[in-house]
Structure 1
Amino acid sequence: MLNIGVYSSKTNRSFSGGSLPRRARGCIFASRPPVKVLIHSSHESRVDITSPVTAAVEEQKQQQLEAVEQPSDNIAGVTRKKRPGRQADSTDAVASFLTRRFGIAGGLAWLGFLAIGTLGEQVKTRLEVANEINGTKDVQDAPEVVLPSGVRYRDLRVGGGQNPIKGYLAVVDYIGTADGVEFESTRARGKPIVFLYGSRPFTGGMCPGLEEALGSMRAGGRRLVTVPPEMGFGERGSVLRATEHVPNKQGIIPPGATLVYDVELVRVSIPPS
């Protein structure tokens, strides 16, 4: 069996191997640092045990290396390890690409492009509102127009804004009567109807005949529309029920009723994405 020990010049005993053999007591190790000694026994195996002193030195070196690799700040007597800084990711993929490819100048150029685009949209909106106001005018004794579907209308005010487009938001104010009896008035309750033009199902007292009449109107315009039963609610009629946004809505449209709408197209706009 192999015994390994570390011996110093001041003792004849080892740290791990017991007393020295009798023939080794005469050895003197002067003032050299502790060394690793291998003692062979009759067996062929060999065991290498590291000196505790050497292990302590290696551990100290490792701690010094770690201290160099991970610098720390000493603030108010408290040592804190530095954490790697986090870089903010841009939510705009185009801006990120241009910044990486062309540097800060590329990112600033893209920012300027977006700013000009936003300004252009604001100018366009202001021009549309101005045209709607300036192009709107009241008319008297306008001729009645009869559509192939049987829907009739007569303009009371011609608008100067945009025509309704399928998928766009349309804001409508109207007073609706069925066979001369009022069934709904958005003007009385102060809440116009907002809906996607061309969508189904219809909102409130809207019907196919009224939607057809709105198609040729411009924002700011007002019409008196007459809808025959087959383009209104037909033989089934309709009952308007209260909703979350309009809790006081109520009205009955009897079967086979002819509908008359005093309708105003307040606004046409692109729906929010």
Structure 2
Amino acid sequence: MSKPEVEFQEGPAPTELVIKDVIVGDGPEALAHGIVDVHYVGVEFETGEQFDSSWDRGQSANFPLDNLIAGWQQGIPGMKVGGRRQLTVPPELAYGPKGSGHRLSGKTLVFVIDLQGVG
């Protein structure tokens, strides 16, 4: 797979996590509290501006789901290796309300995640 384009979403930002499978994988399934190997792109919902991309670094990211934002902890389990999933994550499940000390706090974020492997 190649780096995805994240489509701009019309309308107000959702207040709950939105999970959309772009490609359904056929490999092993990601489990809650498991380890995932992913490629991803993250953009701000309001502007569509990219703030992070493992693709741009040229390597996937491997980490325990428990170390990630709540939106990923809730949105990745059940995904299968080889799949691509879009998560639209409200601030409460990302970096908290505005003023929480993170540069992305208070923002709704959109991630397109390609699941490369599970551990």
TM-score > 0.5 by shorter chain: yes
Deviation at 1:193? Answer: 1.2
Aligned length: 101
Extract unaligned runs of 5+ from structure 2: 1-14
Q: Aligned partners of 1:237, 1:158: CA distance in 2, in Å?
A: 36
Alignment of 1:12-91 (within 5 A): none
Q: 1:161 to 1:152 in 2, by over 3 A?
A: same
Deviation at 1:211? Answer: 2.2
Q: 1:264 to 1:237 in 2, by over 3 A?
A: farther
Q: Aligned partners of 2:60, 2:74: CA distance in 1, in Å?
A: 18
Extract unaligned runs of 5+ from structure 1: 1-148, 239-251
Q: Aligned partners of 1:164, 1:228: CA distance in 2, in Å?
A: 22
Report whether the alignment pairs 1:185 with 2:53.
yes
Deviation at 1:166? Answer: 4.2
The equivalent residue for 2:63 is: 195
Higher helix share: 1
Q: Which amino acid aligns with 1:185?
A: S
1:36-58 Cα distance to aligned partner (Å, 9 max, x none): xxxxxxxxxxxxxxxxxxxxxxx
Asked which structure has the greater CA Rg, the reply is 1
Superposition RMSD on alpha carbons, in Å?
1.8
Identity over aligned pairs, percent: 32
Q: Aligned partners of 1:196, 1:234: CA distance in 2, in Å?
A: 20
What TM-score do you get using the length of structure 1 for normalisation?
A: 0.35
Q: Aligned partners of 1:224, 1:176: CA distance in 2, in Å?
A: 10
Contact preservation (8 Å) 1:173, 1:186: yes
Report whether the alignment pairs 1:216 with 2:78.
yes
Structure 1 runs (4+) deviating above 4 angstroms are none
The equivalent residue for 2:6 is: none
Report whether the alignment pairs 1:176 with 2:42.
yes
Deviation at 1:181? Answer: 2.1
Report whether the alignment pairs 1:262 with 2:117.
no
Q: Aligned partners of 2:108, 2:96: CA distance in 1, in Å?
A: 9
Q: Which amino acid aligns with 1:153?
A: I
What TM-score do you get using the length of structure 2 for normalisation?
A: 0.75
